[in-house]
Amino acid sequence: MRLLLFFIFSTLLINAQTVSVAVAANLSYVIKTLQKAYLKHHPKSKIEIILGSTGKLTALIKNGAPYDILMGADMAYPNTLYKDGFALKKPSIYARGSLILFTKKERDLSVGVKKLTDPEIKKIAIANPQIAPYGKASIEALKNADILKSIKSKLIYAQSASQAVTYTLKVADIGFIPKSTLYAPMMQHFQEGKNWINIPSKLYKPIEQGMTLLKHAKENKDAQEFYNFLLSQEAKKIFKEFGYIVE
């Protein structure tokens, strides 16, 4: 009986150390490095990562998903969770993301986004603007470049920023993807000017990426410590190494 009680108690302790983090898809590469860096300081902790579009992750949280932290691709969804009573504190900006126009095949990109009007471009991948902040920024850039109407029939929509990368690599001629994607090992050989260009920041509002500590983390000390770590100078250095803009 004592052995059984010891096992149950030990299991509870292990579970208490698990931090469940809902992570925006554009963070799929940097989050692994952040996780590794944190665990160097907290080797007994366990970080569980759930990737998805910020909109879908927010919907899951509102429907009872037991997540401790939401790392969003914008501030709107974390702010909504806070206002609706699902979070313990106001969201914080942990980094700012930026957009690039990317093509697996080398092309002349010297004309910028106007390249999308070229007849040879038949499919353009973007994240779904209804649920993915990077998709929303892509549409904003197309509108401000005054080419959305002329190329709208070419758009194919992915459910997240990471899926937009997959579409761009496999089924589309070109696509809007997060600049941070370039830091993935499989992407590092692509060249600026031939495979990708920055989308001018004047074409879309800054993608302020925010996070919030959720009510599920109220009794989870490790979750609160991981949240603080994500705002630390060490974490900011990692974000910067992966192409994010940090203050």
Which sequence spans correspond to the domains of the chain?
2-96+207-241, 97-203
Contact status, residue 216 vs residue 20, Cβ threshold 8 Å? yes
Q: How many helices (H) and strands (E) does the chain have?
A: 9, 10
Q: What global pTM score does this model have? A: 0.80
For residue range 34-57, what is the model confidence (pLDDT) as tens digits? 999 999 999 999 999 999 989 999
Measured at the CA of 183, the angle between CA 236 and CA 230, to 5 degrees, comes to 20
Which of 163, 161, 153, 152 lies closest to 99, judged by CA?
A: 161
How far is the C-alpha of 200 from the C-alpha of 177, rounded, in Å?
14
What are the tokens at 166? 């997959």
CATH classification code of 2-96+207-241: 3.40.190.10
For residue range 151-204, what is the model confidence (pLDDT) as tens digits? 999 999 999 888 999 999 999 999 999 999 998 888 999 999 999 999 999 999
97-203 belongs to CATH 3.30.470.20: no
Q: Which helix (H) or strand (E) holds 70?
A: strand 69-71
Lowest mean pLDDT among 2-16, 41-55, 229-243: 2-16
What are the tokens at 209? 């990426």
